[in-house]
């Protein structure tokens, strides 16, 4: 070109494109600010707990039993009791919840009975924990004659977590396209073969996610175990790996924390905070282990 005005670049962004980019940057900044606003309180709470708990946090605090009326010593009986309750409750609730979700999503007919069961599952998921505690007291402690024990408390926790496991598993199963099932049926596979070889591998991530979410609830609940199996104090030798039998009552971290905060006078101020930090650490470790397992066994959907 000679002596003329330079022509506009053919690939220059238009005014509309620039406006959309500005709106995208603004939205990204708003979402980032919202994320930071959610993380900051959590980090502040965790930091506050760790600072207040630091004088008592040690290996001996983890492996020793409470001493001097729980004013000194450690939390080993409560730590082991919490792990027992969580493991047993999930061992009961997870298989039953997954199998029930498979039946409701893959086998049950869409009729009024199916709809009533779905409504019951959704309703039970929102029932307060104190109601589950009273039911566990009547059903397992008295009716089944299991007494106040780890088994009664674990079954109550399993009953409490069961509806959410069923609901999350059904969502994971429903996310697998129906075309996958039809392709298997067309080559002669049975319904169960299709579920086992195609549906479950492609939904295992969502199933484990639902189970992981219930770990925190099972570990942190106080009312269900207070009514059915947790005890104020139980003499246990520190460091013993299996201090409880299934027909015995046990200590638990959530109950122990409540006891220290409300029932034990003149307790060292850092001990309740250290107990809370250990409870959070147990939940995080169990969740991390479950997430690692999910990543190892998950088969990525191929659609």
pLDDT, position 11:
66
Please give the DSSP secondary-structure letter assigned to residue 111. Answer: S
Q: What phi and psi values does residue 266 have, to the nearest 5 degrees?
A: 60, 30
CA distance 37 to 90: 33
Domain 59-297 has CATH 1.10.1370.30: no
Element (H, E) at 140: none
Q: 164-198 burial, b if ≥16 CB within 10 A, otherwise e?
A: bbbbbbbbbbeebeeebbeebeeeebeeeebbeeb
Residue carrying structure tokens 């600010």: 33
pLDDT, position 152:
93
Q: For residue 263, what are its two tokens?
A: 């029932």
pLDDT, position 229:
87
Please give the DSSP secondary-structure letter assigned to residue 245. Answer: -
pTM over 0.85: no
Q: Bridge-partner residues for 73, per DSSP?
A: 66
Sign of CA dihedral 92, 172, 286, 278: negative
Closest CA to 210 of 156, 174, 255, 252: 174
| Domain residue spans of the chain | 59-297
Q: 223-256 burial, b if ≥16 CB within 10 A, otherwise e?
A: bbbbbbbbbeebebebeeeebbeeebbbbbbbbb
CA distance 66 to 78: 9
User: Per residue of the chain (303 residues), what is the pLDDT tens digit?
Assistant: 455 555 556 667 777 778 888 888 999 999 999 999 989 998 999 899 999 999 888 888 888 888 888 888 888 888 899 989 988 998 999 999 999 999 988 888 888 888 888 888 888 888 888 899 999 999 999 999 898 999 999 999 999 989 889 988 988 888 888 888 888 888 888 888 888 888 888 888 788 878 887 777 888 888 889 899 888 888 777 667 788 888 888 989 888 888 888 888 888 888 999 999 998 888 888 777 777 777 776 655 545
CA distance 137 to 142: 7
């Amino acid at each position: 070109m000679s002596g003329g005005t330079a022509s506009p670049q053919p690939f220059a962004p238009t005014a509309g494109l620039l406006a959309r980019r500005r709106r995208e940057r603004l939205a990204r900044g708003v979402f980032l600010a919202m994320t930071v606003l959610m993380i900051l309180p959590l980090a502040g709470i965790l930091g506050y707990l760790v600072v207040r708990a630091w004088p008592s946090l040690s290996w001996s605090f983890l492996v020793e039993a409470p001493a001097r009326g729980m004013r000194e010593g450690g939390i080993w009986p409560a730590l082991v009791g919490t792990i027992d309750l969580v493991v047993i409750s999930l061992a009961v609730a997870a298989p039953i919840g997954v199998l029930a979700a498979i039946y409701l999503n893959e086998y049950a007919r869409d009729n009024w009975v199916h709809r009533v069961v779905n409504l019951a599952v959704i309703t039970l998921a929102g029932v307060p924990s104190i109601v589950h505690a009273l039911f566990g007291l009547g059903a397992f402690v008295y009716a089944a004659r299991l007494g106040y024990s780890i088994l009664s408390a674990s079954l109550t926790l399993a009953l409490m977590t069961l509806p959410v496991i069923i609901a999350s598993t059904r969502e994971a199963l429903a996310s697998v396209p129906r075309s996958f099932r039809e392709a298997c049926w067309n080559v002669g596979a049975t319904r169960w073969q299709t579920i086992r070889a195609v549906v479950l591998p492609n939904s295992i991530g969502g199933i484990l996610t639902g189970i992981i979410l219930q770990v925190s609830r099972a570990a942190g609940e106080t009312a269900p175990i207070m009514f059915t199996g947790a005890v104020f104090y139980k003499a246990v030798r520190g460091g013993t790996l299996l201090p409880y039998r299934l027909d015995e009552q046990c200590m638990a971290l959530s109950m122990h924390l409540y006891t220290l905060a409300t029932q034990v006078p003149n307790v060292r101020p850092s001990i309740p905070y250290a107990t809370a930090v250990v409870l959070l650490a147990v939940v995080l470790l169990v969740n991390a282990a479950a997430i690692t397992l999910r990543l190892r066994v998950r088969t990525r959907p191929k659609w």
